Structure 1
């Protein structure tokens, strides 16, 4: 794999908190030195009170573009089913420009996936379908998104990085090989070599060198020894999830110190 610095991404679940608390935490995380900030693209909480406070992903991200100046950011991950692909491209381009500031270079990461949370679909009137149908829709959407970026005026400020989440071997990893700049998963260090072999096969089939793809992982157990093992397998982007109402930062600070030690 290409040598890359270790980066830390923090996913702020947009649930059980006021927007002012989310905003203040975003600002604090940038000041602490986080590399990337994520939210998620759902309409209801995924933990705690299922009818608790919750905010929509894309409008929140547009706000983050204004209140930050350095950190990259995006959804972990956007649900492809909820918005027309060309609209997604235009929204991403617009947030890219909002985040560019004086540098003229945007900081938005287009994280996307096929969707899975059935309540979102039922409550908001989207067709849930099957996992295979949703993955096929994602495979169809990404070329449209990339094509639309080439047609928009003004164009995006940079080649917007595409992050794709998931580890399905037949469809998801092929989509990753074709389109992703970052592959995100929860795969363990023990299973990662086999997944990478499969990703490499898909890369060969589509003419892609997978060393171009940054490996992102969220360890299910927040143990730095597990992070060391994943790092040895080539993972360079590590994500941690925090949730309202309080968004505790002690673990974040430990992982940022570990990152700094890894990067020398």
Structure 2
């Protein structure tokens, strides 16, 4: 049976647009790629510079002294698993990618969430955009990213950021909408300006809900690790992919458990640090 001709096929137009961007905005995208590679490279070098056992001991000691025995033991178990699995370098690459991705996601989503909480029309416009970002498979927006930046860390970061923005933005909007109006009016009546009300009243009142958004952003960013490995970003995701393609159960399991260990560690430490 002959294939049915689609009535809606925007692929050709999008491909032409990407080709035009590659020709006319190459310098701009090259600058973005260089900036991303530089930041991620610096983060990786910072984590890989000391000997693994030395960095592990330092992190465990800091967690022990600052947060207590429970978190020190958690850090020792999580990072110890990565080291014992022979995937220390890959784990540090993953932590660097997730840390930078979460930072960028929060820097974008947090102010937009505050704006949407104050402007119902802005929230109404953003809602379908966020729906698309969360429901469209990551491969769809990863294709143009790869076409522009080629394989590597840049498209992986873009895909991770796109995936991490919606939960933080939605929960930030919810958090600020739930701040009691009386509290804001009291601050304004006492002569506090916008930034004083925001920093001293609204953010403290919304902190617990905001931490939920940060937690979801971290976990969803880690969920993109395997996809990042598929496009050449390295890290634990690349090891999961290698285990799958080679049918090596041991490698895939070790990499998968290391991803879980990193996720638990980042989640618990971020909650404790900001809670």
Fold match by TM threshold 0.5:
no
With normalisation by structure 2, the TM-score equals: 0.23
Higher helix proportion? 2
With normalisation by structure 1, the TM-score equals: 0.24
Higher strand proportion? 1
Rg larger for: 2
